[in-house]
Chain A
Amino acid sequence: MPVDLEIVSPEKLLLSRPVDMVVLPAAEGELGVMVNHAPMIVLLRGGTIRLYEGANVIDRLFVSGGFAEVTPARVTVLADEATPVAQVSRAEGDRRLAAAEADYAAADKMDVAALDAAMDRMQSARAMIEAAPAG
């Protein structure tokens, strides 16, 4: 039995379809969700969401961060920003990485929250570069 997957960004509903399994880039490691999963709310880091039908990946989307709500019948991803992997731009990832590194360098070394935020952005940018199609 498939699980209903919904991916929404603040500006619109991006995707709504049943899948056999979805792999989410959760903050503490990847999380595969199938139907009848225990209800959870997870924080997402920057990374790729993979949609499975049977054993095959049918779609990949890059998210820069967000949240996911898992219930037995449904997975709702609240993405800060989501792009199909084919449209991810390496140049944009490079730009963000540079900006995040600059912020990290500029941040007060005692301000742990700011350092963490910059680290998260660096991680998300690296994931974006990684996700970008080669070439």
Chain B
Amino acid sequence: MPSLKALRSRIASVKSTQKITSAMKMVAASRLRRAQTQAEAARPYAQRMERMLASLAANVAGSPTAPRLLVGNGRDKVHLLVVVTADRGLAGAFNSSVGRTARSLARRLESEGKTVKLLPIGRKGRDLLRREMNDRLVGFFSFAGSKTVGFASAQEVAGKIIAMQAADEFDVCTLVFNRFASVISQVPTEVQLIPTPLPPQQETEPTQGARAVYEFEPDEETILARLLPQNLAIQVYRALLENAAGFYGAQMTAMDNATRNAGDMIKRYTQNYNRARQAAITKELIEIISGAEAV
């Protein structure tokens, strides 16, 4: 049995850890709220964008001059995976689950004879992928400096993806990120960016009837040429926002567990400490009594 002094210092150290984890939980909770509000604020634009894109793309998709951002370059050989993770850890399995998804996707594609390139966003993702697939990394983004996710960051990433496509460096681009399902659950998700998957046309719906009669000014292709890069940026932006909200959710859960665990440990150590203290007292008493009896 450890000495009383050792136990006391153990308890003190666990207590200070508990203070830190519960403070981190509080901070994560407030940042989570902010991230969620931001994600909600971004939703209307994304929805309207999707609606416009659907009505535009339906008119253009069939034509041979359709923009490459929409239909890709017709090949399916080189895959670019954009992997979104957080910049920091202490959030349970949050980062590693995205890393695992990205790695297994990469392995599956490679076993099909395709080439994989990886573009991590966020320091943790880079560290995870660098260990095994360092030769496939083609770049890296980190927005650790800014407190909230800005649309400009997403545009930067989208710009890089567009430049890479213009240089014919990949055929298909897929985004891997943690979708924010709820505070305690983040689901690693894959979304194909290029070629753009089109929402299914449901022409039977009465509301869709109005869609076909849109007039376009200047014309479909000019608008699409502007809309597609913007749509790409929006998709990245959404992933960044979901990632931020998911990260704080995961961190909050992880820190809550850590705090509770520390509480259990303190309880156990305190019990051990009290037992040891009583044993010492009993021992002393026995010594005194047996000394007195001997006299």
Select from chain A the residue with minimum beta-carbon distance to B219.
A43
- The residues in B between 73 and 98 inclusive whose CB is less than 8 angstroms from any CB of A are none
Q: Is the CB of B218 within 8 A of A28?
A: yes
- The residues in A between 52 and 90 inclusive whose CB is less than 8 angstroms from any CB of B are 65, 67, 69, 71, 76, 78, 80
Select from chain B the residue with minimum beta-carbon distance to A76.
B48
Q: Is the CB of A42 within 8 A of B217?
A: yes
Residues of A within 8 A of B213 (CB): 38-39
Contact of A67 among B150, B223, B233 (CB under 8 A): B223
B193 contacts the other chain (Cβ, under 8 Å)?
A: no
Residues of A within 8 A of B131 (CB): none
Binds B, one of A8-16, A92-100, A102-110, A122-130: A8-16
Q: Is the CB of B216 within 8 A of A41?
A: yes
Q: Is the CB of B48 within 8 A of A80?
A: no
B134 contacts the other chain (Cβ, under 8 Å)?
A: no
Select from chain A the residue with minimum beta-carbon distance to B46.
A10
Q: Is the CB of B48 within 8 A of A8?
A: yes
Q: Which of A10, A67, A69 has the most CB of B within 10 A?
A: A10
B151 contacts the other chain (Cβ, under 8 Å)?
A: yes
- Per-residue B-contact encoding for A14-48, CB less than 8 Å = 1, 0 else: 00000000000011100100000011111100000
CA distance A11 to B151 in the complex (A): 7
Main secondary structure of the interface of B (DSSP, over half): helix
Known contacts: A11-B41, A41-B56, A43-B222. The answer to whether A26 contacts B215 by CB under 8 A is no
CA distance A78 to B56 in the complex (A): 15
CA distance A28 to B215 in the complex (A): 14
Q: Is the CB of B45 within 8 A of A8?
A: yes
Known contacts: A43-B223, A78-B48. The answer to whether A27 contacts B230 by CB under 8 A is no
B276 contacts the other chain (Cβ, under 8 Å)?
A: no
- Per-residue A-contact encoding for B41-78, CB less than 8 Å = 1, 0 else: 11011001101100110000000000000000000000
Q: Is the CB of A39 within 8 A of B214?
A: yes
Q: Is the CB of A12 within 8 A of B223?
A: no
B161 contacts the other chain (Cβ, under 8 Å)?
A: no
A contact residues, total (Cβ < 8 Å): 24
Residues of B within 8 A of A43 (CB): 217-218, 222-223, 226
Residues of B within 8 A of A67 (CB): 52, 223, 226-227
Q: Which of B45, B234, B237 has the most CB of A within 10 A?
A: B45
Q: Is the CB of A27 within 8 A of B217?
A: yes
CA distance A62 to B224 in the complex (A): 23
User: What is the minimal beta-carbon distance from A23 to any residue of chain B, in angstroms?
Assistant: 15
Q: Is the CB of A13 within 8 A of B44?
A: yes
CA distance A26 to B203 in the complex (A): 29
CA distance A63 to B44 in the complex (A): 17
Residues of B within 8 A of A28 (CB): 217-218
Q: Is the CB of A69 within 8 A of B41?
A: no
Known contacts: A11-B151, A67-B226, A78-B52. The answer to whether A40 contacts B45 by CB under 8 A is no
Select from chain B the residue with minimum beta-carbon distance to A29.
B217
Residues of A within 8 A of B218 (CB): 27-28, 43
Q: Enumerate chain B interface residues (CB-CB to A < 8 A).
A: 38, 41-42, 44-45, 48-49, 51-52, 55-56, 150-151, 154, 210, 213-218, 222-223, 226-227, 230, 233-234, 237
Q: Enumerate chain A interface residues (CB-CB to B < 8 A).
A: 6, 8-13, 26-28, 31, 38-43, 65, 67, 69, 71, 76, 78, 80
Pull 15 A–B residue pairs with CB atoms less than 8 Å apart, ordered by A: A8-B45, A9-B151, A13-B41, A38-B213, A40-B217, A41-B223, A42-B216, A43-B222, A43-B226, A67-B52, A71-B210, A76-B48, A78-B45, A78-B230, A80-B230
- Given A6-B48, A8-B48, 11 further pairs, Cβ under 8 A: A8-B44, A9-B151, A10-B234, A11-B38, A12-B41, A26-B217, A28-B217, A31-B217, A41-B214, A41-B216, A43-B226
